[in-house]
């Protein structure tokens, strides 16, 4: 039951608790269903119209702020996820480029009668360390690149023994 509240916020709360829908549209205040309003409540609403509208506008503003905060939170989480994916993509891109470079070296080696010794032992060992699956989340690309580099190192060692 509606009491003679002191604050517009309390009046709105009581009206809603009694089943009324209370909202503002610009300078218009709506309390529905109007037929169920007691005369003294109608007078209280009329007397406090501008305070009630201001209170409803603050409520709406707070609701919009909360909704925007949620949107910002979700957007921030999505940005973090995309940054992580971009980091993984950059690693994959680097590993794929190393693989392409290794394949090009292997192709050149196959075209020549002598094995192409383009990487010294130290550089090859360092490249294997950089691309090793343990350092790259055990990704499929790092496994393939490391295997290709190890094979190339073996071929170079064999070629240097027979030279």
Q: Which residues contact 50 (CB under 8 A, 6 or more apart)?
A: none
Q: What pLDDT, in 10s, does the model give residues 42-69?
A: 999 999 999 999 999 999 999 999 999 9
| d(C-alpha 47, C-alpha 62), whole Å | 25
Contact 153, 125 (CB under 8 A): yes
Domain ranges of the chain: 8-68, 88-162
The mean predicted confidence, pLDDT, of the chain is: 86
pLDDT tens digits for range 38-49: 999 999 999 999
* Residue-wise pLDDT tens digits, 91-106: 888 888 888 888 888 7
The confidence score (pLDDT) of residue 54 equals 95
pLDDT band with cut points at 50, 70 and 90 for residue 1: low
Region 116-143 average pLDDT:
82
The phi, psi pair for 32, rounded to 5°, reads: -125, 135
Residue recorded with tokens 């109608």: 42
Q: What pLDDT, on the 0 to 100 scale, is given for residue 112?
A: 65
DSSP type of residue 113: S
Give the sign of the dihedral formed by CA 9, CA 12, CA 16, CA 17: positive
Mean pLDDT of all residues in 76-80: 90
When pLDDT is cut at 50, 70 and 90, the band that residue 3 belongs to is low
């Amino acid at each position: 039951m509606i009491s003679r509240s002191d604050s517009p916020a309390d009046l709105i709360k009581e009206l809603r608790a009694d089943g009324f829908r209370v909202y503002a549209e610009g300078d218009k205040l709506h309390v529905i269903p109007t037929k169920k309003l007691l005369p003294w409540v109608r007078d209280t609403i009329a007397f406090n119209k501008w305070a009630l509208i201001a209170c409803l506008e603050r409520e709406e503003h707070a609701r919009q702020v909360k909704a925007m905060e949620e949107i910002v939170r979700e957007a921030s989480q999505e940005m973090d996820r995309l940054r992580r994916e971009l980091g993984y993509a950059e690693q994959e891109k680097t590993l794929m480029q190393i693989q392409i470079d290794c394949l090009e070296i292997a192709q050149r080696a196959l075209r020549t009668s002598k094995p192409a010794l383009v990487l010294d032992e130290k550089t090859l060992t360092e490249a294997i360390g950089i691309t090793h699956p343990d350092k790259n989340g055990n990704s499929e690309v790092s496994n393939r690149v490391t295997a290709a580099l190890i094979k190339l190192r073996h071929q170079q060692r064999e070629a240097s023994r027979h030279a």
